[in-house]
């Protein structure tokens, strides 16, 4: 077994819990801006200077960003903690939070941690049956929801939740109600709860996405989150300090129901980075928020960087500048690759001619891209799934270094990440400090470190299958290069075996097909089949642009999938993907579908991963047609 260990950058916490950092920063730097939220222009006045969101699921109304100081944040956390105690929440109780990413989620997280309660994040898209399973499994005694739709989701199964005693709704004045209820609770009572916390106290139970079967509750302690975040903040100090003559800021665009979003939240609070909240991750909603908030660094998923790149390309084509943009892509990739090779002692760096071209493209293209991202963004982190190497090179050449990382819910998010000073694009980097990564004989990645979870809630059998003597079997397949950088090649359970016995890793093919601007999703089929095929879905915005640029009429998706020109474009993407694998592993045929896979139809997990078995079941007829042909 080959392994690599990076020693911890900070010692493990010996006492206290996550909420301590809120109270300590309020004492040391009370006037520092630690949170920012948007004050909507519309909505009903909530009596505290803010206004509620206009309606469930609606695009966030435009409004100015308001800073919250460390002292204000501490006081609001304390007021909520008192209210929760007054309403019967006790040390060790599990309280569900079902909401989009917003300031109140962070407030409630820290209020719950202040009194030793455990938060149970729930995706806002969860169904009643999913809620029933998680609430029952976690013995949830209270819940906080964003709006009436979420309340109704819980209400549909509330008669089967005998342990659920309290339900608060953010958009119906939950904060004000709890603050008022807590006025009779003395501050010393809250302090006694906070002082009773130890690093080994359970902080949260985060459910896996459940790509197949029921999700499992991952038990994470205060120590897990502190080990994870403190080592990341120390290792990526240059990122968290921004390197600019301005305060470090980041915009939280990830769902806080996902462990990645929670890690960003905790790391920002512990590092004193001003944290903004953005509920929608679509480019149409996010790009205006980036221009207004102007973060110095960003943590997101590959999908977002793919969409930002595609949006920039579409804009250039609309302006008649596609040729220039394509030149800029080529120059950025070559420039970044030359810089990368020099960092590893494999080349002299960019030539003089390439540097001149790069400077020209910076004025014509890259500077405009950076302005669209707020003008101050220099660093970003990509996680959650694999990122195409060429995309990473493009952003780096354009002046925004994107570090790719990797981790799981069971490991409190990040296990590995590319070092800021020497990234190797196309890999997920090296172990973060305090982490050991090893490869089994079958290529499965095993890990150990302070961020590895305590086990699955109420499921000792599943825990025993993956936790052995401090090692966690991730289920991911990978390879380590000569420099100790890890590349994730796919999920062990997703590997396909054709009827001829050929083993195929679908992730490589799917990721490459998805880099085409018109493609939204790709799922590779081939288990017990004579050859490999694929189902492809389209990006509606990209398709609308493609039709307009070719003066084609807008037609329903059901008709468009038979368009010969469109099929030719997708075939190009498939051919490009096939160059990454052997002929036996290549995609022989494909089908363009009229609609995307969604969370609502049960074909994606809440974290946007493919539910492969469900997709194959729903599209069985289309798949059979591919093989009959």
Judge whether residue 61 has pLDDT over 50.
no
Q: Looking at residue 359, what is its pLDDT?
A: 98
Distance between CA atoms of 415 and 401, rounded to whole angstroms?
A: 19
**Buried b or exposed e, range 300-315, using 16+ CB within 10 angstroms:** bbbbbbbbbbbbbbbb
Quick check: 228 and 3 in contact, CB under 8 A? no
Q: What is the mean pLDDT of the chain?
A: 92
Is residue 245 very low, low, confident or very high in pLDDT (cuts 50, 70, 90)?
Answer: confident
CB-CB neighbours of 583 under 10 Å: 7
Judge whether residue 55 has pLDDT over 50.
no
Is residue 599 very low, low, confident or very high in pLDDT (cuts 50, 70, 90)?
Answer: confident
CA nearest 370: which of 322, 403, 402?
A: 402
Q: Looking at residue 39, what is its pLDDT?
A: 81
Q: Looking at residue 244, what is its pLDDT?
A: 64
50's CB contacts (< 8 A; 6+ apart) are: 37, 39, 40, 66
Say if strands 202-207 and 217-221 run parallel, antiparallel, or are unpaired. Answer: antiparallel
Q: Per residue in 437-466, pLDDT tens?
A: 999 999 999 999 999 999 999 999 999 999
Distance between CA atoms of 415 and 476, rounded to whole angstroms?
A: 12
Ramachandran angles phi, psi of 547, nearest 5°: -65, -45
Judge whether residue 531 has pLDDT over 80.
yes
DSSP label of 220 = E
Task: Report helix, strand and coil shares of the chain as percent, to nearest 5.
Answer: 40, 20, 35
The region that residue 239 occupies, defined by phi over 0 for left and psi between -120 and 50 for alpha, beta otherwise, is: alpha
Distance between CA atoms of 24 and 115, rounded to whole angstroms?
A: 16
Give the mean pLDDT of 329-346: 97
Judge whether residue 48 has pLDDT over 70.
no
Domains recognised in the chain with CATH numbers: 495-628 (3.30.300.30)
Lowest model confidence (mean pLDDT) among 160-164, 175-179, 313-317 = 313-317
* Coil, strand or helix at 6: strand
DSSP label of 432 = P
Give the mean pLDDT of 274-282: 91
> Which residues are 472's β-sheet partners?
447, 467
Quick check: 567 and 620 in contact, CB under 8 A? no
Judge whether residue 389 has pLDDT over 60.
yes
Say if strands 142-145 and 94-98 run parallel, antiparallel, or are unpaired. Answer: parallel
Distance between CA atoms of 474 and 445, rounded to whole angstroms?
A: 6
Quick check: 517 and 544 in contact, CB under 8 A? no
Distance between CA atoms of 130 and 98, rounded to whole angstroms?
A: 12
Ramachandran angles phi, psi of 473, nearest 5°: -85, 110
Q: Looking at residue 51, what is its pLDDT?
A: 37
Judge whether residue 40 has pLDDT over 90.
no
* Coil, strand or helix at 317: helix
Q: E strand or H helix at 143, and its extent?
A: strand 142-145
Give the mean pLDDT of 166-173: 97
Is residue 396 very low, low, confident or very high in pLDDT (cuts 50, 70, 90)?
Answer: very high
281's CB contacts (< 8 A; 6+ apart) are: 253, 254, 255, 300, 301, 304
Percentage with pLDDT > 70 across the chain: 95
Is residue 56 very low, low, confident or very high in pLDDT (cuts 50, 70, 90)?
Answer: very low
Q: Looking at residue 210, what is its pLDDT?
A: 63
Is residue 299 very low, low, confident or very high in pLDDT (cuts 50, 70, 90)?
Answer: very high
* Coil, strand or helix at 206: strand
> Which residues are 480's β-sheet partners?
486
Q: Looking at residue 58, what is its pLDDT?
A: 36
Full DSSP string of 274-323 = EEEE-S--SHHHHHHHHHHH--SEEEE-HHHHHHHHHHHHHHHHHTT-HH
Q: Looking at residue 284, what is its pLDDT?
A: 81
Distance between CA atoms of 418 and 486, rounded to whole angstroms?
A: 9
Say if strands 401-408 and 413-417 run parallel, antiparallel, or are unpaired. Answer: antiparallel
Judge whether residue 41 has pLDDT over 90.
no
Quick check: 434 and 3 in contact, CB under 8 A? no
Considering just the CA atoms, what is the radius of gyration of the chain in Å?
A: 24
* Coil, strand or helix at 520: strand
Full DSSP string of 47-68 = SSS-B--SSTTPPPPP--EEEE
- What is the number of helices (H) and of strands (E) in the chain? 23, 26
Q: Looking at residue 141, what is its pLDDT?
A: 98
Per the model's pLDDT, the better-predicted residue between 530 and 281 turns out to be 530
pTM, full prediction: 0.90
Three-class DSSP labels, 384-431: CCCCCHHHHHHHHHCCCEEEEEEEEHHHCEEEEECCCCCCCCCCCCEE
Q: E strand or H helix at 203, and its extent?
A: strand 202-207
Per the model's pLDDT, the better-predicted residue between 238 and 119 turns out to be 119
**Side-chain-side CA neighbours of residue 129 (13 Å):** 4
Q: Looking at residue 243, what is its pLDDT?
A: 63
Q: Looking at residue 242, what is its pLDDT?
A: 65
Q: Looking at residue 2, what is its pLDDT?
A: 85
Quick check: 542 and 517 in contact, CB under 8 A? yes
625's CB contacts (< 8 A; 6+ apart) are: 591
Is residue 64 very low, low, confident or very high in pLDDT (cuts 50, 70, 90)?
Answer: confident
Q: Looking at residue 346, what is its pLDDT?
A: 95
Full DSSP string of 544-613 = HHHHHHTTPPP--HHHHTT-HHHHHHHHHHHHHHHTTS-GGGSEEEEEE-SS---TTTTSB-TT--B-HH
Judge whether residue 553 has pLDDT over 70.
yes
Distance between CA atoms of 72 and 79, rounded to whole angstroms?
A: 11
Q: Looking at residue 231, what is its pLDDT?
A: 97
Distance between CA atoms of 331 and 351, rounded to whole angstroms?
A: 12
CA nearest 54: which of 283, 279, 312, 322?
A: 279
């Amino acid at each position: 077994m080959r392994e690599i260990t990076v020693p911890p950058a900070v010692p493990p916490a010996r006492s206290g819990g996550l909420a301590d950092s809120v109270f300590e920063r309020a004492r040391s730097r009370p006037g520092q801006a630690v949170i920012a939220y948007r004050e909507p222009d519309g909505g009903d006045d909530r009596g505290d200077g803010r206004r509620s969101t206009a309606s469930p699921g609606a695009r966030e109304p435009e409004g100015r960003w308001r800073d919250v100081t460390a002292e204000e944040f501490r006081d609001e956390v304390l007021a909520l903690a008192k209210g929760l105690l007054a309403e019967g929440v006790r040390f060790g109780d599990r309280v569900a939070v079902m909401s989009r990413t917003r300031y109140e989620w962070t407030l409630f997280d820290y209020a719950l941690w202040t009194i030793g309660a455990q938060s149970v994040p729930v995706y806002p898209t969860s169904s009643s049956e999913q809620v029933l399973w998680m609430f029952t499994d976690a013995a949830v005694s209270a819940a906080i929801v964003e709006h009436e739709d979420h309340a109704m989701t819980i209400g549909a199964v509330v008669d089967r939740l005998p342990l659920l005693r309290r339900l608060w709704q953010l958009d119906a004045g939950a904060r004000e109600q709890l603050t008022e209820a807590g006025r009779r609770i003395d501050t010393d009572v809250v302090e006694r709860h906070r002082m009773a916390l130890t690093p080994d106290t359970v902080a949260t139970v985060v459910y896996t996405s459940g790509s197949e079967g029921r999700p499992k509750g991952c038990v994470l302690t205060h120590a897990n989150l502190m080990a994870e975040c403190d080592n990341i903040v120390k290792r990526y100090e240059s990122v968290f300090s921004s390197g600019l003559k301005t305060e470090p800021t980041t915009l939280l665009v990830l769902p806080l129901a996902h462990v990645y979003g929670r890690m960003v939240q905790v790391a920002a609070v512990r590092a004193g980075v001003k944290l903004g909240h953005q509920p929608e991750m679509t480019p149409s909603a996010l790009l205006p928020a980036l221009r207004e908030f102007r973060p110095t660094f960003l943590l997101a998923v590959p999908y977002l960087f793919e969409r930002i790149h595609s949006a920039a390309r579409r804009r250039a084509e609309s302006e008649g500048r596609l040729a220039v943009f394509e030149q800029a892509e080529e120059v950025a990739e070559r420039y970044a690759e030359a810089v990368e090779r020099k960092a590893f002692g494999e080349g002299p760096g960019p030539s003089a001619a390439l540097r001149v071209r790069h400077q020209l493209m910076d004025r014509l293209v890259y500077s405009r891209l950076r302005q669209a991202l707020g003008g101050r963004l220099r660093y970003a982190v990509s996680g959650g799934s694999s990122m195409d190497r060429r995309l990473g090179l493009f952003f780096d050449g354009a002046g925004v270094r994107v570090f790719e990382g990797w981790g799981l819910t069971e490991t409190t998010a990040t296990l590995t990440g590319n070092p800021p000073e020497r990234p190797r694009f196309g890999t997920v980097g090296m172990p973060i400090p305090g982490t050991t990564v090893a490869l089994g004989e079958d290529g499965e990645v095993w890990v150990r470190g302070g961020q590895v979870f305590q086990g699955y809630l109420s499921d000792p059998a599943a825990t025993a299958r993956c936790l052995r003597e401090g090692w966690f079997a991730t289920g991911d397949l990978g390879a380590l290069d000569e420099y100790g950088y890890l590349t994730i090649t796919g999920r062990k359970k997703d590997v396909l075996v054709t009827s001829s016995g050929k083993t195929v890793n679908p992730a490589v093919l799917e990721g490459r097909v998805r880099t085409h601007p018109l493609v939204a999703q790709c799922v590779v089929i081939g288990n017990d089949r004579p050859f490999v095929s694929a189902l492809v879905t389209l990006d509606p915005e990209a398709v609308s642009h493609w039709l307009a640029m070719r003066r084609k009429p807008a037609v329903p998706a059901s008709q468009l999938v038979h368009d010969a020109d469109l099929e030719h474009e997708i075939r190009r993407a498939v051919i490009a993907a096939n160059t990454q694998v052997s002929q036996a592993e290549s995609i022989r045929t494909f089908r363009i579908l009229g609609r995307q896979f969604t969370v609502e139809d049960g074909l994606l997990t809440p974290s946007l991963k493919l539910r492969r078995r469900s997709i194959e079941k729903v599209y069985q007829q289309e798949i059979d047609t591919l093989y009959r042909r």
